[in-house]
Structure 1
Amino acid sequence: MSIELQIQGQGLAVEQRPIDPVSTLQREVQRKLGRCLIRLQQYERLMKALAIDFEIAGPSDELMAIRQKRGEVVSRMTLGQLVAELTGTYLQPEPPDTVEPEWGPADSQRIWFRMQTRMALQPEDYERVVAGLKELVALRNELVHHFLERFDIWSEAGCHHADAYLDAGMAKVDSHYAELRQWAITMDQARSAMGAFMASPAYTDLLFDGIRPDGTVDWPTCGIVRHLRTAETVLAVDGWADLGQVIERMNLMHPEQALKRYGCTTWRQVLHESKQFKIRRDQGSAERPGRTEFQSLTKPLQSSDIN
């Protein structure tokens, strides 16, 4: 009940006017509707922040511009489009139901970079998450486009129904927001771990010399093999390079290519382990000492290629 006071001369007159209960209920429905829409916008903003960094690829000197363009595209996406992007890239069933295509840089003369972020879920968890996200999109569309069609908020009963619907909807949105926030934290932790790895000597060894963190070597593209091929090109006579001369050149020009980095104790072991070269032994003569020679393979290594 409302009480209105009127002053008449020196006395007070009290007039009581009833408050319309529907108006009070309407205001509460409006408050809860606004709260749901604000949280949905927070959800969209967080998902857009994630979507920008699901994947990035391109020349290293253009990555910032590429990311900016990606941000412009993402900023125009609807919640439905964002969910489709999320479930088609970041979230994957375990094992993945798609095979990643091979990726090759368009320009081999530039340094290219590609990073993908994925969260693998068990099939039943993946289906649950996808269904929940579709339900969230439907809720958002209902609130924005059809709320007044569904609920008669000019009646007391309609306000009560709308109020209960909004309470349940807010609980769903809050649950999805908490889940998305955890995904964002996980992605940020993954990026931090990747950044720490990229700042480590192990990453430099992998990137430039093909030495993996577990100590195994990508022999065809590793640093020591690349430099051996270069030395061979410079020093070869009739297609064969003297290993002794190559070692002198390597020690002078590339002392960082230490044998122990590749798990080897001799240069001949490098030639054998890499399986990238033919090797032969020149026995020499009374006038000339023997020597080991090698040349790059143009076909897979056969046992007869090593003498």
Structure 2
Amino acid sequence: MASLTPTNPDALLDLQRTVQRKLGRCLLRLQQYEILLKSLVAHRDIAGPPARLQAIRDAQVVYVQKMTLGTLVGMLTDSYLTPNQDDAAASEDESGDGGLWAWASMASVMATPAYEDLFANGIWPDGSVNWPTSGAVSCLREAESRFATHGWTKLNTATAWIREQHSDQQPQRYGCGSWRQVIHESRQFEIRKQGNKDNGCNEVWYRSRPVETAIQQEQQS
């Protein structure tokens, strides 16, 4: 407890920053869930004359924009995770609990690579990436929190640690050829080159943009 006393304000400040960073990530993840659920609900059932399908789809997209996360979850479970009457009756006869069917269905969906790409890595089915909550950006931020020097982190140090600790997180997974391209495409970081006096080569360093600036850069992309 001594480390949290007023005699050591730097330790308390570091803890506050850690809490703020993790809380911010949780909020971004919730926003990502909401965006994905709105897309799933809006496209779950599109029916009508062929000439009006696009208009019907656009209307459904607009309709779900005003819904809360809880409402979206309810609509999704009522449609996607509800068996037909025959299956529901059979499930209840066998187990006495039709709810188990829904949980089993959800578990099977969560075990798929597509689910991991969407919810863990921010990769949409069409290959586009929701960079602020992507796995690659999360890894870069985690490395930054470990190896930053005066606010800047050497990219080579960060990527070596990512390869060791998160071997599944590679630039190619996000359609990029290098970690420098990830930093450029994500628009979540600032980057600079600095000469190494020992070998005479330039080294790439990065740091997170302020939240407001990162959001603006993402909106402009």
What is the deviation of 1:98? 7.2
CA distance, structure 1, for counterparts of residue 117 and residue 66 of structure 2 = 26
Q: How does 1:65-84 map to 2 (within 5 A)?
A: none
Q: Which has the higher strand share?
A: 1
What is the match of residue 73 of structure 2?
114
Question: Given the alignment of the two structures, is residue 243 of structure 1 paired with residue 146 of structure 2, yes or no?
Answer: no
CA distance, structure 2, for counterparts of residue 184 and residue 219 of structure 1 = 35
C-alpha change, 1:99 and 1:252, in structure 2 (3 Å) is: closer
Which secondary structure does the structure 1 equivalent of 2:127 belong to? coil
What is the match of residue 172 of structure 2?
260
CA distance, structure 2, for counterparts of residue 210 and residue 248 of structure 1 = 22
Q: Which is higher, the Rg of structure 1 or of structure 2?
A: 1
Which residue of 134, 137, 147 maps to 1:222?
A: 134
What is the deviation of 1:208? 1.3
What is the deviation of 1:228? 0.6
CA distance, structure 2, for counterparts of residue 202 and residue 103 of structure 1 = 21
More relative contact order, 1 or 2 (CA 8 Å, 6+ apart): 1
C-alpha change, 1:238 and 1:184, in structure 2 (3 Å) is: closer
C-alpha change, 1:278 and 1:119, in structure 2 (3 Å) is: same
Pairwise CA RMSD of aligned residues? 3.7
Which secondary structure does the structure 2 equivalent of 1:255 belong to? coil
C-alpha change, 1:218 and 1:184, in structure 2 (3 Å) is: same
Q: How does 1:185-196 map to 2 (within 5 A)?
A: 185=84
What is the deviation of 1:115? 4.7
- TM-score normalised to structure 1 length: 0.38
Which secondary structure does the structure 1 equivalent of 2:201 belong to? coil
Q: How does 1:1-307 map to 2 (within 5 A)?
A: 95=59, 100-103=66-69, 114-117=73-76, 185=84, 197-285=109-197, 288-298=200-210, 299-300=212-213
What is the deviation of 1:300? 2.1
CA distance, structure 1, for counterparts of residue 130 and residue 110 of structure 2 = 18
C-alpha change, 1:277 and 1:98, in structure 2 (3 Å) is: closer
CA distance, structure 2, for counterparts of residue 99 and residue 221 of structure 1 = 20
Letter in 2 for 1:207: F
CA distance, structure 2, for counterparts of residue 234 and residue 286 of structure 1 = 24
CA distance, structure 1, for counterparts of residue 160 and residue 140 of structure 2 = 11
CA distance, structure 1, for counterparts of residue 64 and residue 155 of structure 2 = 47
Number of matched pairs: 139
Unaligned runs of 5+ in 2: 1-55, 88-101
